[in-house]
Each structure stands twice: as C-alpha cells, then as structure tokens.
C-alpha cells in the first residue's frame, strides 16, 4: 500500500511518537510510506535520525480551513497515487478531508481517509463539520471513551469508529532485577530516603499537579517521607502558582521540578510510585510505561484512565480533584509494600495487551478492508 500520514506539528509529544512508531512499523512491513510534516519539525528530524524508509513532504496546515494546504495535499495524493491518507490531529481533519474531496472531484479514485483521535475533548458539534468529514473511512480512537465522544460529536454510526489503543515498547522501560535506585535518584537530585511519587506529564492545570500538591499538604505528618517528582515541560504561569502554593505550605523541599525528562525509563527507576491526577485523559502512555517498569500507579478515575486501570488490581483509581482521597492513596502506597507488589504485578500482566505489533496489525487490517471495498 502507498500510505500518507499527515502530522504537521513542529513539537514532539505523545502524538508525534505515535506517528513515528506507526510509520516505522508500516514501512518495515513493506508498505510505501509518505509523511506530511514540517521539514524542520521534530517528527521529520526523528524520522531521519531513525533511518525510517519514508518520503517526507513539507506540508504545513496553519489552521483547519487552510485552502493552500488542502491544494498541496491534493496534488501530493495525485502525484504519488496515495491509497491511504491518515490524519492525526483535529486541526488537520478538515484539511485532509478537503484534499480527498478535491482529488475525487478531479475524477481520481481518491484515497481512503482515516483519522486518529488522540484527545478526550469532544469534536465540533456542527452538521457541516460532520458532513465535511464524512468522506472518512474510519475514525480510529485510542480508547472507547474517546470513540464515544467522537461518535456523539459527529453523529456517525458506531461502526465507523474503531478503537485501537496506544502501545508501549515494554522492553525499553523494563527495569533489571536489583536496579540501583539510589544511583538513579542521585542522577535526578531526588532524596534517597524518601518515598518518591513521580508524575510525568506536562505541567498545566488539566494535568492536576495542583491536586498532588494539596494531597501532599493533606497527608501532613502522617506521611513525612512522601516526595513528589514532577517531570514535564511547564506552563509558566501554572508553574509559578505551584511554587507559590508549595512555599506557603512549607513544602518546597518535598517537591522536585525536573523539567522535561527525555530518559523516562531512568526517572521511573528512581520512583516508588507514579501518580496521574489529570482532570481528564483520552488514554495514558504514562500508565503503560509505569506498568512496563514495574512501578505501581494511582490515577484519576476519569476517561481513558478509568478504562485502562482496574482498581486494586493494576492500580488505584482516585476521585479526580479530591486532595484528601489522593492523600489517602499516596499514604496507602507509601505504607503498604504488599499493595505495591500486587499492583506492580497486575500492571506487568496488563501491559502485554498494549503492543505495537498488535496495534499495527489492527490498523493495517482496516486499511486493507477499505481498499478491498473500493475495488469491488
């Protein structure tokens, strides 16, 4: 198959990693891969560095109604006889749909269009928007929660929504027996004698780090060893607010702000537990990574997080924004080694369901089914 992936963001986050690994895996399976992305963007750079066999095309959509980008994509579809076009961000959905419509108006066969939805927020509830995207073969949601949101927003039949979860390279995160945790803590400047709770997420209000700060205060003297390690790039205003709150509560020394950490496996090796207190989530690679590393997790009982984690089996589910409930959960984790072992084992069992091989086979099957229908 001749496949075009459309991902014109300049930064590199979970969505771009998804595209990078999917493109590499499809290319390894013998397909011809094209990627529309900024030539100077992080995704294009990483594809080049990884030596992925794909053609890069410098197409950038400035907004959802970028007619110039639609025309450039339509020419690209025609020139390279693309069978499958696959867009990964909501901003690019109308542009990709417009390019496919343009290609079909010119009398070409037109590729089968796929959209992947990574985000939990509902899509635009507008009949014109839903109609414009109706040239889509399938919308792939990373969780059932996301699929339900998209179905309700677009008014599509449930059969047009496919759920294919994200994945993790478990071997990359698996920690060796007898890992030297103190050495990893020294690397990140974390206290060796503390119970370190990691939160690996961008620092912004929706990710809920403020709830963890309040939980640390609520835990008080009952859990003096608790220490938070907050890793991720930060919204400056939110970071300042967190620092002020911690300073006023006398907790500055019990929280480490690590910034963006490239080597997530190393940070997980330094942590006793991972907390994900988001207000909402579509999915969570952080859960999969912690599971693979054998680190117990506590997550907010919302959205894709609730779908992933079985309470008391593969993690703890905690009411979102409830600092007292979070304080109780962190105290339980810090004080109960048997609980930590049980949750870590549950996570190791669960993570085996989330492999790249399984996801790529599912995506490839959807592609083939679309082309088979088109050729009948």
* Segment-wise mean pLDDT, segments of 10 residues, the chain, 376 residues: 89 85 97 94 93 92 84 93 95 94 82 95 88 95 96 92 96 90 96 96 95 93 89 94 94 96 96 97 96 98 97 98 96 97 98 96 97 72
pLDDT value at position 109? 73
> Residue with structure tokens 């205060």?
217
Residue 232, Cβ neighbours under 10 Å: how many? 19
pLDDT value at position 376? 53
The superfamily CATH assigns to domain 2-167+355-375 is Glycogen Phosphorylase B; (3.40.50.2000)
Instruction: Tell me which residue of 167, 128, 131 sits closest to 21, measured CA to CA.
Output: 167
Q: Which fold does the domain 170-351 belong to in CATH?
A: Rossmann fold (3.40.50)
Question: Structure pTM?
Answer: 0.91
pLDDT value at position 240? 96
Contacts of 67 by beta carbon, 8 Å cutoff, 6+ apart: 98
Biggest alpha carbon distance in the chain? 72
Helices within the chain (DSSP H only): 14-28, 42-50, 67-79, 93-105, 127-132, 144-154, 170-173, 181-188, 209-219, 236-248, 264-269, 285-293, 303-308, 323-335, 337-351, 356-375
Is 166 in a helix, a strand, or coil?
Answer: coil
pLDDT value at position 108? 67
pLDDT value at position 224? 85
Distances (CA, A) of 111 to 29, 114, 346: 20, 9, 42
pLDDT value at position 375? 62
Q: Is residue 191 exposed (0-12), middle (13-18) or buried (19+ Cβ within 10 Å)?
A: middle
pLDDT value at position 9? 74
Instruction: Tell me which residue of 275, 323, 320 sits closest to 295, measured CA to CA.
Output: 275
CATH 3.40.50.2000 in the chain is located at 2-167+355-375, 170-351
pLDDT value at position 294? 97
């Amino acid at each position: 198959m001749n496949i075009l992936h459309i991902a014109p963001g300049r930064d590199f986050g979970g969505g771009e990693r998804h595209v990078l690994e999917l493109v590499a895996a499809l290319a390894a399976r013998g397909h011809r891969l094209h990627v529309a992305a900024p030539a100077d963007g992080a995704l294009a750079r990483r594809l080049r560095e990884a030596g992925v066999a794909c053609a890069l095309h410098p197409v950038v959509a400035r907004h959802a109604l970028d007619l110039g980008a639609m025309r450039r994509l339509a020419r690209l579809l025609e020139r390279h006889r693309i069978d499958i076009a696959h867009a990964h961000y909501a901003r690019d959905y109308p542009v990709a749909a417009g390019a496919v419509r343009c290609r079909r108006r010119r009398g070409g066969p037109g590729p089968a269009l796929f959209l992947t939805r990574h985000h939990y927020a509902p899509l635009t509830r507008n009949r014109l928007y839903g109609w414009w995207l109706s040239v889509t073969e399938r919308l792939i949601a990373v969780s059932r929660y996301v699929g339900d949101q998209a179905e309700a927003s677009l008014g599509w039949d449930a059969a047009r929504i496919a759920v294919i979860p994200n994945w993790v390279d478990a071997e990359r995160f698996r920690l060796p027996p007898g890992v030297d945790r103190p050495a990893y803590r020294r690397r990140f400047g974390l206290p060796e004698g503390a119970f370190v709770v990691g939160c690996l997420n961008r620092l912004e209000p929706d990710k809920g780090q403020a709830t963890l700060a309040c939980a640390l205060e609520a835990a008080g003297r009952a859990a003096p060893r608790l220490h938070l390690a907050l890793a991720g790039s930060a919204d400056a205003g939110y970071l300042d607010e967190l620092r002020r709150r911690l300073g006023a509560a006398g907790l500055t020394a019990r929280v480490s702000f690590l910034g963006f950490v490239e080597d997530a496996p190393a940070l997980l090796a330094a942590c006793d537990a991972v907390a994900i207190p988001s207000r909402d989530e579509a999915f969570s690679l952080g859960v999969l990574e912690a599971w693979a590393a054998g680190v117990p997790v506590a997550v907010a009982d919302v959205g894709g997080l609730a779908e992933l984690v079985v309470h008391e089996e593969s993690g703890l589910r905690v009411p979102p924004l409830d600092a007292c409930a979070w304080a109780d959960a962190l105290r339980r984790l810090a004080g109960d080694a048997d609980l930590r072992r049980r949750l870590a084992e549950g996570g190791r069992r669960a993570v085996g369901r989330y492999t790249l091989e399984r996801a790529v086979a599912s995506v490839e099957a959807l592609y083939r089914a679309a082309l088979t229908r088109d050729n009948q």
